[in-house]
Amino acid sequence: MTGAGGFVGRNLIAFLASRGFSVIAASRTALAPGHPNIVTAPLSDLALPFDWRALLERCDAIVHLAGVAHRFSGDEQYNLVNYRATEALAKAACRQQKHLIFVSSIAAQSGPFSEQELTEEAPPRPANAYGRSKLAAEHAVRASGACFTILRPVVIYGQGEKGNVSIIHRVSNLPIPLPFGAVTARRSVLSIDNFCSAIVTVLTDPRAHGETFIVSDPTPVTVSDLISRHRAASGRSPWLVPVPERWIELSFAAFGLGDTWNRVGKPLVARPTKLLALGWKPS
């Protein structure tokens, strides 16, 4: 597994090891495995040429998580790490006849919101450099000749989470009423446990070979749902005030947070119908 040192990677290596998989955790950061089924391997900066042969000779399948996603990366960095490094890995996987599971992103298919429900069959329309680099990598994986599975997860939440769900949960901790009681836009999210179980499904079912899957929790949620659940887990009431959505959107824009509103207050529903049909059983 590449990118084993990140939020998703740390959770995934532990999940796989606990279920009997032998995992080579490849990362640029030092890891303390903590489980006899996990061994570590150094991974260099993927913006530079990297010889994958030594790693691939030791495994049967690859889960490729490594990449750059933060907003301050430039187009060239996205191109080198997310696209070109994945392309090189896919070609190496083809030569050594390994199954490559490429963890792409829903950003390869859509911008931060969509008025239409997303499916794997819809034409991809990435809206930023990150999404375009992930889509280019998908094309490279398919063209490589390798045995592959491509996953497009939506935003992932859980212990150690980052991004917009993390922001919502931090806001939920504030001891004040919050003005999101009237927000109705539904968004698909993904628990880290469900993501990990999806990896097991595509690792172990040959029907996943050559396929692309959206990965999300089956039921979309609203911002108010997320806040209510988070506060309920702490034994607190939702304490949500029904302020008109337009007022909230204008307030976000006034503080330069229009993009954040697009990612939390507007709809993006991407159901895992195809993955469920394969037999995936999320919690």
pLDDT in tens, 58-96: 999 999 999 998 666 778 899 999 999 999 999 999 999
pLDDT of residue 72: 62
Phi, psi of 127 (to 5 degrees): -115, 0
- Please state whether beta strands 99-103 and 61-64 pair in parallel, antiparallel, or not at all (unpaired): parallel
Phi, psi of 63 (to 5 degrees): -105, 110
Q: Where do the domains of the chain lie?
A: 7-158+190-216+271-278, 163-184+221-264
In the predicted model, is pLDDT for residue 185 greater than 90?
yes
What residue has token string 């609203």? Answer: 222
pLDDT of residue 107: 96
pLDDT tens for each residue of 159-179: 888 878 888 988 999 999 999
Q: What share of the chain in percent tops pLDDT 70?
A: 99
CA R_g for the chain: 19
Q: What is the mean pLDDT of residues 141-165?
A: 93
Q: What is the rounded CA–CA span in Å between residue 263 and residue 241?
A: 20
pLDDT of residue 71: 61
The conformational region for residue 34 under phi > 0 = left, psi -120 to 50 = alpha, else beta, is left
pLDDT category at 31 given cuts 50, 70, 90 is confident
Residue 151 parent element (H or E) = strand 147-153
CA distances from 37 to 7, 99, 100, 109, 201 (A): 19, 20, 20, 35, 19
pLDDT tens for each residue of 35-48: 999 999 999 899 99
Q: What is the rounded CA–CA span in Å between residue 238 and residue 137?
A: 41
**What string of DSSP letters covers 25-70?**
EEESS-----STTEEEEE---TTS----HHHHTT-SEEEE------
- Please state whether beta strands 147-153 and 61-64 pair in parallel, antiparallel, or not at all (unpaired): unpaired
Sign for the pseudo-dihedral over CA of 69, 186, 103, 136 = negative
CATH 3.40.50.720 fits 7-158+190-216+271-278, yes or no: yes
pLDDT tens for each residue of 113-142: 999 999 999 999 999 999 999 999 999 999
pLDDT of residue 163: 78
Least confident stretch, 30-34, 180-184, 230-234: 30-34
pLDDT of residue 165: 84
Look at residue 214 and give its three-state secondary structure. Answer: strand
pLDDT tens for each residue of 198-236: 999 999 999 999 999 999 999 999 999 999 999 999 999
Q: What is the rounded CA–CA span in Å between residue 108 and residue 83?
A: 12
